[in-house]
Amino acid sequence: MKRGFGVGAAAVAALLAGCPAQKPAPAGPGPRVSGKPSPSPSVAATPSLSPSPSPTTEPAPPEPPDEPEDPASAAIAAALGEVMRAHASELADCQRVARAANYKVGGDVILAVKLGKDGRPTDITAEQNHGTPDALLGCATAAVKKWDLGKVGKAGDLVMLPIIFGTAKAQYAISDDDVPVSGPKGGNIAARVLVDALTTPDPKLSLTRLSIRPRTRIPWHSRSSAMAIYVMHGQLKLSLPGQDTVYAEVGQAVYVPAGQVHALEALTGRTPGEFLEFFAPAGPEHSYRDPQDRAGTIVVSGKPDKAPAPAVLTKSGDARPLPIGGGKGQVRLLLEQGGKGDGKLSLAHFTAGPGMVVPEHVHAAESEVLYVLEGEGTMTVGGQTVTVKAGTAVHIPAGVKHGFTVTKGPVVAIQSYGPAGPEQRFKQPPPAAPVGGAQK
């Protein structure tokens, strides 16, 4: 004779110890073992699945069961809670990767897990799924398949694992290792869209990391947004009708005004060129996610007319270093308001030495984007602590308080504002040191 018992309050209490409260999932079947029916229903036993950069709305804590659990149910529920605690970071990693493509990803699912003789899952199916996308569900299933559930049930048992992936209000940091690669067919261009309306709320500019194979040419086209490209590796050839060809090397950037017809080509040896591409306002980067989405991009056939406005080539080595952080760091402005470019966005080479601290501050009307090239640090963004390192993109929406501390330096980053403006503060002289004392 079979009986079913749920994963009740014991699992919830054990699992949520030290974690933000989570809303219980609907009652459902539990592991299948021999015996008599147990009165306790199954509820969600889930960790907090939201990393610090992605705050979630925290539901009310689970309500206590209507009646006490029998000792067998409580023991297995506790065992399941122990397993879930041990593997909570794996499920959180799954959601972090999923949010690199869409920060609003969430959902809840009950996984039916059939156990083999060694306590390892032999078959996993989704019994109930409310909003969990396929990629996130697949990652969670792959993780659970490696778990040892020998303390929860025996061979032939069917264990029901309710999992809740909380939804996020915002996301501020995205690692390019987590971002899915997209781009046109053929594989000559690999794009990782790091900052846009899907990865973070209300960006006024976008950031995409491009990997372009040698001698790949992007034919004549124009964009509805202003564009800046920073060269991390290789060489970029920029062609404009009726003007001299522009070549950008490592550490240099090119700027193309909105509507300007141009063509691009990666000039590298045997390895792909690596570039950071910014659009202000965000929009044209959508064509990387969906090549059929040409919104913001116009492909020009034939020989285009003469360019109405010249492009800008700017070199970090030519820009005057501006001291920041009491001399612990410096900024070189590549594009700025009232200087090179037309003010739609700024671009700067940012260096912060060991121990440098940028106090919390706010940009009232501009978005800020940072892409870290070297070093490590922590940022506070909207009250959340974000760890940043090489390959991390950070978006700070307008009006959100933020600060930065170097933990392993120096930190080298490319910084952009959309629109330009806040970078002008770097030109201001540091406050004078008080008489008879050190500068504050």
Domain membership flag for residue 12: yes
CATH number at residue 372: 2.60.120.10
The DSSP code for 182 is B
Tell me what pLDDT residue 117 has.
86
> Does residue 434 lie within any of the structural domains?
no
Boundary-marking domain end, from 137, 165, 193: 165
Within its chain, how far is the Cα of 170 from the centroid? 10
Q: Give the tens place of pLDDT for each residue, 390-421.
A: 999 999 999 999 999 999 989 999 999 999 99
**pLDDT single digits (tens) 95-146:** 999 999 999 999 999 999 999 988 899 999 999 999 999 999 999 999 999 9
Are 411 and 367 in a shared domain?
Answer: yes
CA–CA distance, 218 with 226 (Å, rounded to integer): 17
Number of folded domains in the chain? Answer: 3
Residues 78 and 37 reside in one and the same domain: yes
Do 299 and 326 have their domain in common? no
Considering only the C-alpha atoms of the chain, give the largest distance between any 2 of them, rounded to a whole number of Å. 89
Task: Answer yes or no: is pLDDT of 60 > 70.
Answer: no
Q: Is the pLDDT of residue 202 over 50?
A: yes
Q: Are residues 402 and 358 in the same domain?
A: yes
291 and 158 belong to one structural domain:
no
pLDDT tens digits for range 266-297 = 997 889 999 999 999 999 999 998 888 888 89
pLDDT of residue 432: 59
If asked whether residues 201 and 103 sit together in one domain, one would say: no
214 and 350, same domain (yes or no): no
CA–CA dist 262, 311 (Å, integer): 9
Give domain status of residue 13, yes or no: yes
**pTM of the shown model:** 0.81
**Same-domain check for residues 368 and 268:** no
Q: For tokens 């406005």, what's the residue?
A: 309
Over 60: is that where the pLDDT of 238 sits?
yes
Higher per-residue pLDDT: 307 or 60: 307
Q: Calculate the alpha carbon distances from 213 to 231, 251, 252, 429 in Å.
A: 14, 19, 19, 44
Domain assignment present for 364? yes
Residue 337 lies in a domain: yes
Q: What is the CA radius of gyration of the chain?
A: 26
Across 38-197, the runs of DSSP E, i.e. the strands, are 107-115, 121-130, 158-165, 173-175, 189-195
Q: Are residues 86 and 200 in the same domain?
A: no
Which of 165, 200, 223 lies at the terminal end of a domain, its last residue? 165
Q: SS3 string of 96-135?
A: HHHHCCCCCCCEEEEEEEEECCCCCEEEEEEEEEECCCHH
Q: Is residue 437 part of a domain?
A: no
Q: Is residue 187 part of a domain?
A: yes
Domain boundary among 115, 133, 165: 165
Q: Are residues 218 and 275 in the same domain?
A: yes
In a shared domain, residues 420 and 374: yes
| pLDDT over 90 percentage in the chain | 63
| Same domain, yes or no: 295 and 179 | yes
Tokens 């106090």: give the residue.
359
Give the range of the structural domain holding residue 91, as residue numbers without chain letter: 2-165
Q: Is the residue at 438 inside a domain?
A: no
Looking at residue 202, what DSSP letter applies? S
User: Which tens digits make up the pLDDT trace of 299-309?
Assistant: 888 778 776 66
Task: Lay out the sheet containing 107-115: strands in order across.
Answer: 121-130, 107-115, 158-165
